[in-house]
Amino acid sequence: MPTSLAPLEVLILEQIAHPRAPGTPGEDDAAFNALALKLHRHQREHNLPYRRFCEAKGGGEPQHWREIPAVPTSAFRHAPLRTFPEGETRATFRTSGTTGEGFGEHHFATLALYEASILGAWRALGVPPLPQLILVPPPAAAPHSSLSHMMGVLARAGGPQVWGLTPEGRLDRPAIEAAAAQGPLLVLGTALAFLHLFEQLGTRPLPLAPGSLAMETGGYKGSGRSLTKEALYARFGESLGLAPEAILNEYSMTELSSQWYTRGLGAPHHGPPWTRAVVIDPVSGREVAPGETGVVHLYDLANVGSVLAIATQDLAVRSEGGVSGFRLLGRDPAALPRGCSRAMDEQLRGA
């Protein structure tokens, strides 16, 4: 762990270990603001591409976390956004880049904070420690996949794991059916992986035991396929016997270290207390009013080694929760296709 990074990381680990509700008045937001400004100064000093980005944006020294310049996700394709020497890199996760736009890279000098953030956000959901059936490649088979790594980390918060793909990346039907026969189960995968499973099951459903849950990561990015969330969750009911309230949606990306979750249909996504989310009007650059639509900007204190403020290409409606919640609408139609779901679709189709 780089010496210059360690004190900041300790402070943020403390925030993750003892979280407080985001968006509440007084100490909680003040503590987040102080940490965010300190982290921003560190990143601007030690991350040359980001410093140049901030200088180009102008505006002087931020006085509040909302004023911290957010880099577009595309920046991770064009510059090594790290605050530590390249030789200290311990892990690199990559975005999908199979349409010719190139892949982005998120570098880590240590995964301690990244993994603490995954587990902290997951435990806050109150998901019981069920056995896990996972419909993505295991970390050893996909060492540059942040989603595969996340799934591996979740073994610490649940029961035994079964990886439901063959070494060739196809759905392992016997393993899936054997796991489903053992009792209540947590099934995790991309929306596209679940869609492939439902199509394989056809008219022969695989009802899961009472108390089972699912987590899907959404998205049909660049796959040429489209299904509304309502239609997808109806398929969960038909094929696995799961009601919408038994299904979690996880929203994150390779460029982040934390996750935002929602459950069922219609509820906003919420992030853990060491994150913030704002919905921005892409024309004015200002936050929209509650109920209005814009582009999501995310602030993640766990992104110590890169950039804490990320401008996504995802559209959302600002919820009444302000910095805590947003109702995700989907990808900006002008954005290039990307993401774990698309790569998974190509693998499952044998592309």
pLDDT of residue 332: 60
> Is residue 143 situated within a structural domain?
yes
Query: Has residue 244 got a pLDDT over 50?
Result: yes
pTM of the predicted structure, to 2 decimals: 0.88
pLDDT of residue 334: 56
pLDDT of residue 57: 87
> Is residue 296 situated within a structural domain?
no
pLDDT of residue 17: 84
Q: Domain of 227: which CATH number?
A: 3.40.50.980
What average pLDDT does the segment 203-218 reach?
Answer: 95
Segments forming the whole domain that contains residue 140: 113-268+335-348
Query: Has residue 2 got a pLDDT over 90?
Result: no
pLDDT of residue 7: 85
131-168 tens-digit pLDDT = 999 999 999 999 999 999 999 999 999 889 999 998 88
Confidence band for 130, pLDDT divided at 50, 70 and 90 = very high
25-45 tens-digit pLDDT = 445 688 899 999 999 999 999
What average pLDDT does the segment 259-282 reach?
Answer: 94
Mean pLDDT of the chain: 87
Confidence band for 345, pLDDT divided at 50, 70 and 90 = very low
> Is residue 144 situated within a structural domain?
yes
Residue 223 vs residues 191, 199, 312: alpha-carbon distances, Å: 11, 16, 19
Locate the DSSP E strands across the chain.
71-72, 91-94, 105-108, 132-134, 161-163, 186-189, 213-216, 247-251, 260-263, 269-270, 275-280, 293-300, 309-318, 325-331
> Residue 161 and residue 300: Cα distance in Å, rounded?
28
Query: Has residue 3 got a pLDDT over 50?
Result: no
In the chain, % of residues over pLDDT 90: 72
Confidence band for 330, pLDDT divided at 50, 70 and 90 = confident
Query: Has residue 128 got a pLDDT over 90?
Result: yes
> Is residue 102 situated within a structural domain?
no
Q: Report how many domains make up the chain.
A: 1
> Residue 159 and residue 313: Cα distance in Å, rounded?
35
87-124 tens-digit pLDDT = 999 999 999 765 556 789 999 999 999 999 999 999 99
Measured at the CA of 1, the angle between CA 118 and CA 93, to 5 degrees, comes to 45
> Is residue 322 situated within a structural domain?
no
> Is residue 304 situated within a structural domain?
no
> Is residue 18 situated within a structural domain?
no
> Is residue 256 situated within a structural domain?
yes
